Structure 1
Amino acid sequence: MSGQQQTTTVGQLPSPGSNSERVPAALTRLVWVLWLASVGVLAATVLRGGWELPGVAVVDGLTAVMWVTATFFSGIIHSYSRRYMAGSKTIDRFFGRVFAFTLAVLALVAADHLLLFAAAWLAMGLLMAELIGHVENWPQAQAAGSLARRSFLGSTAALGAALLVLWYHTGATAISEIPSSLGAASTPVVVAAAGALLLAAMIQSALVPFHTWLLSSMTAPTPASALMHAGFVNAGGILLIRFAPVVTVEPAVMLAIVLAGAASALLGKLLKTVQTDVKGKLACSTTGQMGFMIMQAGLGFFAAALTHLILHGFYKAYQFLGSGSQISQQSPTKTPTTGSTGPAGAAVVALTAIAGGLVFAVLTGKGMKLDSGLLLAMLVVLTVLHAARDIVAQASLPATVRYGAVPAVALPAIAVYGVVYRGIEGMLAGLPATGQSAELTVVHGLVGVAFLAAYLAVERGVYTRSKRLYVAMLNATQPPTDTQLTTTEDYNEY
């Protein structure tokens, strides 16, 4: 009746310390214990070297670094999820899947036996698909989970084909046996195996054109989206590092890896510019950044790829967990928040970018001679140039702050990156075929030109002048229709 008022009573959500959340609390404590243990393993590896269970598992520099990284990410996500998932009837199942996924990552990076590596890869994919489709009564989530599952099964099939070819033609049953056994296989066989490995890495890391599953995965609870960067989307880099002796045999394969990574890096950057959704922007950014990671592996800089996946994982996990705070409502204003840099600003940006490239080259030794390191150093310069341009163009800030903040922030950041890179490079020193950079070719030069052209196109907004191009890019960022939430009433966890 119109004269009656309905009172809605909202109960208090359970606090993270309540008795109803014993499973989340126990798993959160356990994963932090695993992190402490991983730190101990890292210290022992640095001081005494690695060890192995012959033919089954190996604890080396890559294992120790990724154990610390994955358990730290997982600990943060477990702790965050205790509040985020409070009151959900499926909280125990969610935590069980997150913890199981963490164990799968730890098994993958330590696996030496081919079957154990493939089993861990498959388990990671199936668990992530379950997390993407975690909300059972949400049709879009179930559709997204199904799409992700099919993609990950395809990735596992490609990996399985590569491992089967290697085993059949070399007789090796462990990853550590492959380098010494490759002589028994012909070059076409090794190239075929390397191609299958690249395909598996591209699907898992959501490179274009396999990025659709990532765009659809926004149905996952936000902590699950952050968890993807704890060894899942970046697992393509781990795969190429572990099988570096295979992918580095033929220079043409390394060029193919560079081209695949560069294409995804460029397209991911362009697709991000037409996205309006916060998590959608982050997904497109991940596609581009994983392209950078794969590209660095193709250049022969496997330590740079590992450094990139770790630092990007920290940054992107933070961005996903804080994505809610990025949503704001603003009234239109006539005062522009961004503007032209001006001659002085352009000079500051250019000098900072060049200085950043020099700092990187001095600290890492890359770009100091005529090899593919020049391309890597150029990408660092472009990255600094883009970031510095964004800061200087903020018209709302005083000029002295903008001009002073650019070198004060950018150069120490590059220095930190360089120091971390050298540390990671030292941890990978014992891994076969990971320390030799590729020779500089015309293809690398064309890739550098493409990156410069893409940077200028984005800065000048060229893509916005063509409606056809803009619509094509916008369509490329849209997940399948059955995974899109068009009516808020469709979302109902209960």
Structure 2
Amino acid sequence: MTAEDPSTTVGALPDETNATPLTPVVLTRLVWVLWLASLGVLLTHVQTGGSWELSGLLVVDGLTVSMWVVVTFFGGIVHSYSRRYMAGHRRVERFFAGVFAFTLVVMTLVAADHVALFVIAWLAMGLVMAALIGHVEGWPQARAAAALARRYFLASGAVLALGLGVLSWSTGATTVSGVVAAADAVPTGVWLVGAGALLLAAMIQSALVPFHTWLLASMTAPTPASALMHAGFVNAGGVLLLRVAPVVTVHGEFMLLIVVVGAVSALLGKLLKSVQSDVKRTLGCSTVGQMGFMIMQAGLGFFGAALAHLVLHGFYKAHRFLSSGSQVEQTAPKSGSETNALGVAGVAVTLTTALVGGWIFTLLTGKGAKADAGLLLTGLVVLTTMHAARTTAARTTPSAAVRFVAIPLVFLPAIALYAAVYRVVGRVLTGVPVVTAPAELTVVHGLVAVAFLGAYLAIETGLYRHSTRLYVALLNATRPPSTTLLTDREEYDAY
């Protein structure tokens, strides 16, 4: 029991309309105005195909305007949702100031061209998010989670400064655009330090394994802040790699390293998710896997696909977090299975849907039509579709006939939508250096494909459930520091 005795009375919120702070209202309207303005800039960019610069300080190109639209839209959703969610909280104005500041900082980051401004915005973004994680005053676990996140973000900022610093020193350029333009002339040793530091900064910020602990410890953040974190903040790693694509694509071996780094997180994220019982931590492990897949797409040379994945994942994860409260229920363990055997018809529908989905993706994007890294990307689309379709087909409700008809009607349009977003993003990114640089297939790509296929079979057949040692290892890998853990449900009520 906690020292406090929280009231259990449930009822309507008191009517304090006259005492409602003005800050949430003003900032919510302002962020939606920013979204409308960003949308206007995006349409202008698409029509004219041009970009705008401010004397080596800022650059507004396709990447900038697309991220402005995404960030302000998610910011508007979070602001609007928080007006009800945070109602009555005594620090509501501080919370809204933090969320709005985060939106502005990210908008500055994606437009920053000067090396110093880019690093400062990166650091500021992390510090604001750490403050949101520890927003609840007097909650020891929240303070510990904020301190942990702050250490990770400071480390990320430090290695980013190192990477851009050595590249800037070697090229003599003080802007990010200048650095990437001269990347080919950087000596190999200096380039390796710079590119390695940039990849490390992206890994930390995107919570890739083994830097995922800060994300899983951040569940003390108010749910709207978690939505903003998983829908926007963790995407910074992908944005960074896209911005410095001419640097990381200098050597094909380094791109293979990015593929491996992304693949490890994509696979482990799926396995880590399987041992979770907490709704928000399950979503956190899902984010680890999705960010790994995003980074992996960048390593394959499809930076536009990585940005499309970033946008679609942001929509999905924002919805899942903001609706996470409806997923909480108290249940007892069930001895029976919630799934049925697929049967011949189920296998046929699942396999056909996945193969047709891969064909649609290839037809609309052109990826997988040549013997390059696009084949691996298309293969992963097929596997992902097959897994999702099989999960749907194996459910006990509704009837088999309804499920088998619904599977292609749902998944094939979803793949078409993904391909369409990919093409739109590619058009918006016209003029941004190295949006697409597909690599030639190598043994490493083959091993990654085998690893994904093996993981798919292990999950689909349930083999991974038979190893107690694996279960304990996965559980330990997702356990954040004990100081950030809530061990008693009443601790939620006390704060």
TM class by shorter chain equals over 0.9
Q: Deviations over 1:458-487 (max 9, x none)?
A: 111212111111111111111110000112
Residues 5-44 of structure 1: matches in 2 within 5 Å? Answer: 12-13=12-13, 18-44=18-44
Report the equivalent of 2:64: 63
Q: Which amino acid aligns with 1:339?
A: N
Secondary structure in 2 aligned to 1:233? helix
Residues 353-392 of structure 1: matches in 2 within 5 Å? Answer: 353-392=354-393
Cα offset, 1:333, TM superposition: 6.6
TM-score, normalised to structure 1's length?
0.96
Q: Which amino acid aligns with 2:377?
A: L
Distance 2:15 2:307 in 1: 38
Cα offset, 1:183, TM superposition: 4.2
Report the equivalent of 2:458: 457
- Tell me, yes or no, if the aligned pair for 1:391 and 1:406 is still in contact at 8 Å: yes
Q: Is 2:480 aligned against 1:488?
A: no
Report the equivalent of 1:265: 266
- Tell me, yes or no, if the aligned pair for 1:23 and 1:92 is still in contact at 8 Å: yes
Secondary structure in 2 aligned to 1:101? helix
Distance 2:173 2:20 in 1: 49
Uncovered stretches (5+) of structure 1, i.e. residues with no partner: 1-6
Q: Give the 3 Å change call, closer, same or farther, for CA 433–334 of structure 1 in structure 2.
A: closer
Cα offset, 1:255, TM superposition: 0.6
Cα offset, 1:10, TM superposition: 7.0
Distance 1:36 1:358 in 2: 36
Distance 1:156 1:290 in 2: 19
Cα offset, 1:136, TM superposition: 1.6
Cα offset, 1:179, TM superposition: 3.3
Q: Deviations over 1:15-61 (max 9, x none)?
A: 69654221101100000000000000101111122211131111111
Distance 1:107 1:210 in 2: 25
Q: Which amino acid aligns with 1:44?
A: T
Q: Deviations over 1:110-149 (max 9, x none)?
A: 1111111111100000000000011121000000000000
Secondary structure in 1 aligned to 2:135? coil
Distance 1:395 1:66 in 2: 41
- Tell me, yes or no, if the aligned pair for 1:138 and 1:492 is still in contact at 8 Å: no
Secondary structure in 1 aligned to 2:233? coil
Report the equivalent of 1:51: 52
Report the equivalent of 1:124: 125
Report the equivalent of 1:250: 251
- Tell me, yes or no, if the aligned pair for 2:95 and 2:135 is still in contact at 8 Å: yes
Q: Is 2:278 aligned against 1:277?
A: yes
Q: Give the 3 Å change call, closer, same or farther, for CA 18–68 of structure 1 in structure 2.
A: farther
Secondary structure in 1 aligned to 2:254? helix
Q: Give the 3 Å change call, closer, same or farther, for CA 18–70 of structure 1 in structure 2.
A: farther
Cα offset, 1:9, TM superposition: 7.0
- Tell me, yes or no, if the aligned pair for 1:16 and 1:25 is still in contact at 8 Å: no
Report the equivalent of 1:160: 161
Residues 183-198 of structure 1: matches in 2 within 5 Å? Answer: 183-198=184-199
Secondary structure in 2 aligned to 1:229? helix
Quote the RMSD (CA, aligned, Å): 1.7
Cα offset, 1:206, TM superposition: 0.3
Bigger shift: 400-409 or 178-187? Answer: 178-187
Cα offset, 1:165, TM superposition: 0.3
Residues 46-125 of structure 1: matches in 2 within 5 Å? Answer: 46-48=46-48, 49-125=50-126
Distance 1:205 1:488 in 2: 29
Report the equivalent of 2:212: 211
Cα offset, 1:13, TM superposition: 2.8
Q: Which amino acid aligns with 2:42?
A: L
Q: Deviations over 1:353-409 (max 9, x none)?
A: 000000000000000010000000000001100110011001222111110000000
Cα offset, 1:431, TM superposition: 1.1
- Tell me, yes or no, if the aligned pair for 2:231 and 2:317 is still in contact at 8 Å: no
Cα offset, 1:252, TM superposition: 1.1
Q: Give the 3 Å change call, closer, same or farther, for CA 194–332 of structure 1 in structure 2.
A: closer
Aligned residue pairs, count: 488
Distance 1:399 1:153 in 2: 52
Bigger shift: 7-16 or 50-59? Answer: 7-16
Q: Give the 3 Å change call, closer, same or farther, for CA 16–36 of structure 1 in structure 2.
A: farther
Report the equivalent of 2:408: 407
Report the equivalent of 1:4: none
Cα offset, 1:188, TM superposition: 2.0
Q: Deviations over 1:265-287 (max 9, x none)?
A: 00000000111110010000000
Secondary structure in 2 aligned to 1:58? strand
Report the equivalent of 2:3: none
- Tell me, yes or no, if the aligned pair for 1:61 and 1:427 is still in contact at 8 Å: yes
Uncovered stretches (5+) of structure 2, i.e. residues with no partner: 1-6
Distance 1:218 1:85 in 2: 16
Distance 2:187 2:327 in 1: 53
Distance 1:203 1:335 in 2: 40
- Tell me, yes or no, if the aligned pair for 2:231 and 2:313 is still in contact at 8 Å: no
Q: Give the 3 Å change call, closer, same or farther, for CA 12–344 of structure 1 in structure 2.
A: closer
Q: Which amino acid aligns with 2:475?
A: L
Distance 1:238 1:443 in 2: 25
Q: Deviations over 1:308-335 (max 9, x none)?
A: 0110010001000000111124467777
Q: Deviations over 1:400-443 (max 9, x none)?
A: 11100000001011011111100101112211122221111110
Bigger shift: 177-186 or 341-350? Answer: 177-186
Distance 1:19 1:83 in 2: 14
Q: Which amino acid aligns with 1:74?
A: G
Secondary structure in 1 aligned to 2:21? helix
Q: Give the 3 Å change call, closer, same or farther, for CA 326–319 of structure 1 in structure 2.
A: same
Q: Is 2:202 aligned against 1:201?
A: yes
- Tell me, yes or no, if the aligned pair for 2:181 and 2:246 is still in contact at 8 Å: no
Distance 2:321 2:18 in 1: 26
Q: Which amino acid aligns with 2:313?
A: H
Report the equivalent of 2:151: 150
TM-score, normalised to structure 2's length?
0.96
Report the equivalent of 1:3: none
Q: Give the 3 Å change call, closer, same or farther, for CA 242–43 of structure 1 in structure 2.
A: same
Distance 1:103 1:88 in 2: 23
Q: Give the 3 Å change call, closer, same or farther, for CA 17–313 of structure 1 in structure 2.
A: farther
- Tell me, yes or no, if the aligned pair for 2:32 and 2:72 is still in contact at 8 Å: yes
Distance 1:67 1:17 in 2: 33
